[in-house]
Amino acid sequence: MKFIAIIPARYASTRFPGKPLAMLGGKPVIQRVYEQVAGVLDEAVVATDDERIYAAVEAFGGKVVMTSPDHRSGTDRCYEAFCKVGGEYDVVVNVQGDEPFIHPSQLEAIKRCFDNPATDIATLVKPFTEEDGLAALENPNSPKVVLDAASQAVYFSRSVIPYLRGVEREEWLKHHTFYKHIGMYAFRASALREVTALPQSTLEKAESLEQLRWLENGYKIGVGISNVETIGIDTPEDLARAEEFLANGK
């Protein structure tokens, strides 16, 4: 199978405008993401709606395409870019442009999901640990995932799932393995084309989670498990933590 990574990168951001071009260890964030991905998958392309990002990617020798500024989601931008790139690729991996520490093992885990012919879409999770604590588990900004016996997603929620009946909440992490969603997706090319045409679903609107639209419409989401901790960059404070992370040789 041939895999292509599409890396959506927008300049506009409420919490951190221009973050793809923010410098991290002497390189723009978007370059660090690109370099982490390009050596693992068959192809990598940045999808942007901003000339400054386009020029920066070209400057470091990366591949980049311009996309519409009007997309509702990164998935829609990903599909436009995939159509523009062309080529015979079986799977499109949508890599967030603010994840400069994405690990090769995570990409390999998401690739393995497609060994199962039933998998239409794939994503990643990381087990919560007791050290993470109850506050991290209950954080609604960190969606949880329930898996079936074949490592397919049953449901995603901002609530803690499953509910452990008869167990004190403070003890939940000792009695069950809960999974935290890592927001990277991969799509069979045919599935990517189809899901971008779907209207918003009831569950998606309720939880504000795009992946619920796909589940509601019958798509099978394979799940790879990763134990790698990375730092996504949403704010200038995250960038400072990332600099420290990089300096420590992580």
User: pTM of the predicted model, to two decimals?
Assistant: 0.91
- The model's pLDDT over 3-57, given as tens digits with 9 standing for 90+, comes to 999 999 989 877 899 999 999 999 999 999 999 999 899 999 999 999 999 999 9
Q: Which pLDDT belongs to residue 230?
A: 79
Tell me: the pLDDT tens digits for 143-161? 999 999 999 999 999 999 9
Residue 250 has pLDDT above 70, yes or no: no
Distance in angstroms (rounded) separating the CA atoms of residues 27 and 242: 12
CATH second-level architecture of 3-239?
Alpha-Beta Complex (3.90)
**Mean pLDDT of the region 113-120:** 97
pLDDT range class, residue 137, cuts 50, 70, 90: very high
Average pLDDT across the chain, whole number: 94
DSSP 36-77: HHHTTSSEEEEEES-HHHHHHHHHTT--EEE--TT-SSHHHH
Mean pLDDT confidence for 164-177: 97
What is the share, in percent, of the chain residues with pLDDT greater than 70?
100
The domain limits of the chain are: 3-239
Distance CA 41, CA 44 (A): 7
Q: Nearest-CA neighbor of 67 among 88, 87, 43, 46?
A: 46
Long-range (24+ apart) CB contacts under 8 A made by 158-164 are 158/207, 158/208, 158/209
